Amino acid sequence: MRASSTKAHAGAASEWPAPKTVTWPRTGRRRALASIGALLLLAAQPGRADRDLVEGLRLFEAGEYTRAAERFAASEDPRANTLEAVAKASIGQCQDALSDLSIRAAGPSDPYVSKLAALAVARCSIAEKRFDAGLSTLSELLKLQPEDPDVLYEIARLHLKGWNEAVAAMFAKAPASFRVNQLSAEIFEIQGRYDEAVREYRKAIEKAPATLNLRYRLGRAILMRSHEPSALEEALEQFRAELQLNPHDAVAEFQVGQILQVLGKAEEAMSHLERAVELDGEFPEALVALGKENARLQRHGRAIELLEKALELHPESEPAHYSLMLAYRNAGRRDDARRMQEALDRLQAPQEGEFSEFLRRIGEAP
Amino acid sequence: MHGEPVRYVDMAAQAGLTAQMPNGGDGEKRWILETTGSGAAFFDYDADGLPDAFLVSGDGGSNRLYRNLGGGRFEDVTESAGLSSEGWGQGVCSGDFDNDGWPDLLVTYWGPNRLYRNVGGTRFERVPIPDRDRYSTGCAFLDVDKDGDLEVFIANYLVFEPASAPEPGANPYCFYRNLPVACGPRGLAFARNELLWNEGTGRFTDVSDSSGIASPSRNYSLGAVTGDFNADGWTDIYVACDRTPSILYINQGDGTFRDEAVLRGAAFDEHGEALSGMGIAVGDFDRDGHTDLFRTNFSDERSTLYHNRGNGDFDDVTVAVGMGVNTRFVGWGCAFLDADNDGWQDVLLVNGHVFPEVERLVDSDLSYRERSVLYRNLEGRRFEDISQQAGPGIAEPRAARGLALADVNGDGRLEVLINSQNEPPALLAQVGGSAGEWLVLQLEGRDSNRSAIGAIATVRTAGGTQRREVRSGGSYLSQHELRLHFGLGRDRTADVEVVWPSGVRQGIEGLIAGQAHTIREEHSGG
């Protein structure tokens, strides 16, 4: 998939986080670590964990990190040094803690202690704006614990922090750049403030008229801004302008095709959809749209060929399954259509354990 | 017939349709129950040839029966007819279930539904039915086995109890665009639909399970309508469903039904996604002799037009015919109607957002009260949105729900009755416009059910052939008059063939345009 085509798959709302400075959720941290502390206590064999370690963990759980560090320092338990460093890191004494933590995090000790150490290292690195070091530590930890929410959360936080830093720097150092307008527009889009998004995109385009993707994003913001049918023509103009800049943009071709369909210009739409598929033969949405258009024209063979390819590229696609089911049906291949319907049913069935399962249980019996 | 455009004005106040129809909160709504009511009906309860109006009320008011006095005037006869009511009324449908010549009425409720027998065209009395306490919505009478007795189909929306229902904002299903709103339908338990079998003795039996009607178990059912969608001679049922796949019950000819909506292409939109189906209109927009479907949906969705391929398989042609441009409105009541009598069925839908709270949205073009939409049929190929030119009756914003059609004054133009939340009803009548010739047919069954539900009339003129079926239910929880209206363009005579549910075919040649004609079923023996 070429870079241009990824636009169709990435929703505007999911591409950028909000530009807020994220503060550390203190109570959340305490709760997460406290549970780990409890695990440590449980894991300790009777008599093995000394009183200082136990008391240190209790204080740590209570958020009294300075006193906890003191008790860990007094403990003879082999894990106590690491825990002391973790406690120090928790109150921002990273310089004191980092060297010990780095060793412990990488060492073959208790996995819970290693995780605590690695998380503390990452936090200290982030606090010192050494994002590469923090990311490196977390990436290693993620390999060991790929589903751990603490680790995933820290990674997300790290990216957010880095994003905030970069945004702040851009606004401070290049406030007149079109990139500032572009980013502002993208943020407004996320917030659903489409009028402002459109305004910022237009400013960006005025400053950098040859920049790719701006008109595409403007077109999308226009469509999101208004339900008026006139928005279709307005957006169409922008997608066409994007194509002027980059005639190889499959996604812009696709958007033009879609709008022309709604405007009742089926033949013209078809040529744009064909061009989108020509530019990117692995663009599932365009394949489905073109497949459906062929189906509408009773060109069953071509429709099925395109839709089967879309399904091959995106086996979980509900639109591809549905359109292929109808194409088979209309081609007289009823059994294949039923097979596709069964696959669609499976895709659309609520997952076990979801709230809907609860609803099914309390719903009416036949 | 594309001269002076059709224009509608609201004549309700002048006509005497003045009662406010309460339906929950107007500024905000706590429960989903406040969002779904209510329906409207035209039916000629006193058989005087003038369609009467019935409006269903939410809590705090009474359903209303307005007798058509002629000359565009109505009289409120609710009390004398025995139809005063209370409670959360939802839908209405009409059919003569005891075949005595007086059309009866079913009103659905959150709570026990009410079947009313029409006693001699003067009053109504309740008839017990084997019905549970539910949140019922759409309904329809139909003769499932073609024995001449009408069965009753009832759509049930979901399981709702205020005592256990979550409050606005209580969970992710209780928000709309970050506003806390009434919860549901997602997050609330599904309900199953019902079929009540007419034993022919004035008694009904619940056959929901054995008939297969209760089999679909993951649907939030709203509008329901009857029709022979696969042209096999047996009456089927279509149900518009909210946030879940719509249902197409295909009559198997042995008293049972099977939901075939998915494979037949009538459950989803063109992407295979379940929309928020509300109302349903049935017609033959391209005059190919096959029954097409139009379903109203939510905002940010499109109303869906399904074209029947002839065997009951459907294609979503919404975009292809030009109906893809409107995505703002939450659509409810709807109908195919030949507004300009040019022989091509246009489409009317009434709108109104579910949540009054949308008025608080900033940077949004949504509003709680919304205008109606009128699409002109361009000879079966495309539709053109002519709402902006269609007069104040269409432009007026409403929190509309039910919609029913009838030729109230016998002028060959269909009036539109609209039941809106917390407003008096609207009665849209045409003024001006260049209308064509017309024909109204009232069908009366003898071996078939008296209401002729399921009968199909084909009208042939020099300008072409049109086909209509007598249906119960339809629109949004509403009932159009049972008479069939045809626009004839410039043609002044028509040949008519009626195929009755009994199988009898009956032809009448040379019917004169500009009149209502009654056609009684001939016995199969002649």
Res B3: pLDDT:
63
User: B263, B273, B303, B385: best mutation site toward chain A, by most A Cβ within 10 Å?
Assistant: B263
Res A104: pLDDT:
58
Which DSSP symbol is given to B521? P
DSSP character string of B157-192: -B---TTTSPPTTSSGGGEETTEE----STTS-B--
Per-residue pLDDT tens listing for chain B (526 residues)? 456 789 999 999 999 999 999 999 999 999 999 999 999 999 999 999 999 999 999 999 999 999 999 999 999 999 999 999 999 999 999 999 999 999 999 999 999 999 999 999 999 999 999 977 799 999 999 999 999 999 999 999 999 999 999 999 998 899 999 899 999 999 999 999 999 999 998 899 999 999 999 999 999 999 999 999 999 999 999 999 999 999 999 999 999 999 999 999 999 999 999 999 999 999 999 999 999 999 999 999 999 999 999 999 999 999 999 999 999 999 999 999 999 999 999 999 999 999 999 999 988 899 999 999 999 999 999 999 999 999 999 999 999 999 999 999 999 999 999 999 999 999 999 997 767 999 999 999 999 999 999 999 999 999 999 999 999 999 999 999 999 999 999 999 999 999 999 999 999 999 999 999 999 999 876 5
Residue B95 tokens read as 């059919």
For residue A231, is pLDDT > 90? yes
Nearest-CA distance B244 → chain A (Å): 11
Contact A229 B385 (CB under 8 A): yes
Name which of A227, A264, A355 is nearest B322 (Cβ-Cβ): A264
Nearest-CA distance A229 → chain B (Å): 5
Chain B residues contacting A, CB < 8 Å?
159, 177, 187-192, 208-209, 214-215, 217-218, 262-263, 265, 268, 270-273, 299-300, 309, 313, 315, 317, 319-320, 322, 324-328, 363, 365-366, 382, 385
Nearest-CA distance B211 → chain A (Å): 11
CA-CA distance, B199 to B202, in Å (whole number)?
A: 7
Task: Kindly state the average pLDDT of the residues A241-246.
Answer: 98
Contact B382 A323 (CB under 8 A): no
CA-CA distance, B61 to B75, in Å (whole number)?
A: 18
Q: What is the 3-state secondary structure (H, E, C) of chain A?
A: CCHHHHHHHCCHHHHCCCCCCCCCCHHHHHHHHHHHHHHHHHHCCCCCCCHHHHHHHHHHHCCCHHHHHHHHHHCCCCCHHHHHHHHHHHCCCHHHHHHHHHHHHHCCCCHHHHHHHHHHHHHHHHHCCCHHHHHHHHHHHHHHCCCCHHHHHHHHHHHHHHHHHHHHHHHHHCCCCHHHHHHHHHHHHHCCCHHHHHHHHHHHHHHCCCCCCHHHHHHHHHHHHCCCCHHHHHHHHHHHHHHHHCCCCHHHHHHHHHHHHHCCCHHHHHHHHHHHHHHCCCCHHHHHHHHHHHHHCCCHHHHHHHHHHHHHHCCCCHHHHHHHHHHHHHCCCHHHHHHHHHHHHHHHCCCCCCHHHHHHHHCCCC
CA-CA distance, B93 to B365, in Å (whole number)?
A: 35
Contact B217 A229 (CB under 8 A): no
φ/ψ region of A298 (left if φ > 0, alpha if ψ in -120 to 50, else beta) reads: left
Contact A330 B309 (CB under 8 A): yes
**A345 to chain B: closest CA residue:** B262
User: B315, B321, B353, B378: best mutation site toward chain A, by most A Cβ within 10 Å?
Assistant: B315
**Angle, CA A174 vertex, CA A170 and CA A180 arms, to 5°:** 65
Contact A227 B214 (CB under 8 A): no
For residue B526, how far is the Cα from the chain centroid?
34
User: B179, B211, B218: best mutation site toward chain A, by most A Cβ within 10 Å?
Assistant: B218
How many CB atoms neighbour CB A162 within 10 A? Answer: 16
Q: pLDDT-based confidence at A295, cuts 50/70/90?
A: very high
Percent of chain A past pLDDT 70, that is, above it, reads 79
**How many CB pairs lie under 8 A apart between chains A and B?**
92
Residues for chain B: how many in total? 526
User: A345, A348, A351: best mutation site toward chain B, by most B Cβ within 10 Å?
Assistant: A348
Contact B209 A366 (CB under 8 A): yes
Contact B263 A338 (CB under 8 A): yes
How many CB atoms neighbour CB B40 within 10 A? Answer: 32
Bridging pattern class, strands B221-227 and B331-337: unpaired
Interhelix angle A178-190/A214-225, rounded to 10 degrees, is: 30
Name which of B159, B215, B317 is nearest A363 (Cβ-Cβ): B159
**B271 to chain A: closest CA residue:** A319
Q: Which residues of A touch B214 (CB under 8 A)?
A: 366
Res A176: pLDDT:
96
Chain A residues contacting B, CB < 8 Å?
192-196, 226-229, 232, 261-264, 266, 292, 296, 318-319, 321-323, 325-326, 329-330, 337-338, 341, 344-345, 355, 359-360, 362-364, 366
Residue B68 tokens read as 């058509």
Burial code of A49-59, b = ≥16 C-beta within 10 A, e = fewer?
A: bbebbbbbbbb
User: Among A58-67, A183-192, B58-67, B447-456, which stretch is predicted with the lowest mean pLDDT?
Assistant: A58-67
Lateral strand order in the sheet of B464-469: B464-469, B456-461, B493-499, B505-512
Name which of B208, B262, B366 is nearest A341 (Cβ-Cβ): B262
Which DSSP symbol is given to B6? P
User: Among A165-174, A238-247, B478-487, which stretch is predicted with the lowest mean pLDDT?
Assistant: A165-174
CA-CA distance, A113 to A99, in Å (whole number)?
A: 15
Integer CA distances (angstroms), A110 to A105, A115, A150, B115, B482, in order: 10, 9, 17, 73, 79
User: A290, A326, A355: best mutation site toward chain B, by most B Cβ within 10 Å?
Assistant: A326
**A337 to chain B: closest CA residue:** B263
Nearest-CA distance B474 → chain A (Å): 25
**B159 to chain A: closest CA residue:** A363
Q: Residue A230: is the preceding peptide bond cis (ω within 30°)?
A: no
Contact in structure between B249 and B205 (CB atoms under 8 Å): no
pLDDT in tens, A132-166: 888 888 888 888 888 888 889 989 988 888 899 89
Residue A189 tokens read as 């889009």
- What are the φ/ψ torsions at residue B234 (nearest 5 degrees)? -115, 140
**Angle, CA B451 vertex, CA B246 and CA B277 arms, to 5°:** 15
Q: pLDDT-based confidence at A21, cuts 50/70/90?
A: very low
Res A356: pLDDT:
54
Res A20: pLDDT:
29
Contact B263 A325 (CB under 8 A): yes
- ipTM of the complex, rounded to two decimals: 0.94
Round the CA-based radius of gyration of chain B to a whole number and report it: 21
Which DSSP symbol is given to B389? G
For residue A172, how far is the Cα from the chain centroid?
27
Q: Tokens 């917390």 belong to which residue? A: B422
Name which of A227, A264, A345 is nearest B327 (Cβ-Cβ): A227
Name which of B265, B324, B363 is nearest A192 (Cβ-Cβ): B363
Query: Given CA atoms A208, A212, A213, A216 in this order, what sign does their dihedral have?
Result: positive
For residue A55, is pLDDT > 70? yes
Task: Kindly state the average pLDDT of the residues A81-104.
Answer: 78
CA atoms within 13 A on the CB side of A188: 23
User: B160, B179, B271, B386: best mutation site toward chain A, by most A Cβ within 10 Å?
Assistant: B271
Contact B217 A364 (CB under 8 A): yes
Say what the pTM is.
Answer: 0.87
For residue A34, is pLDDT > 80? no
For residue A175, is pLDDT > 50? yes
Res A35: pLDDT:
43
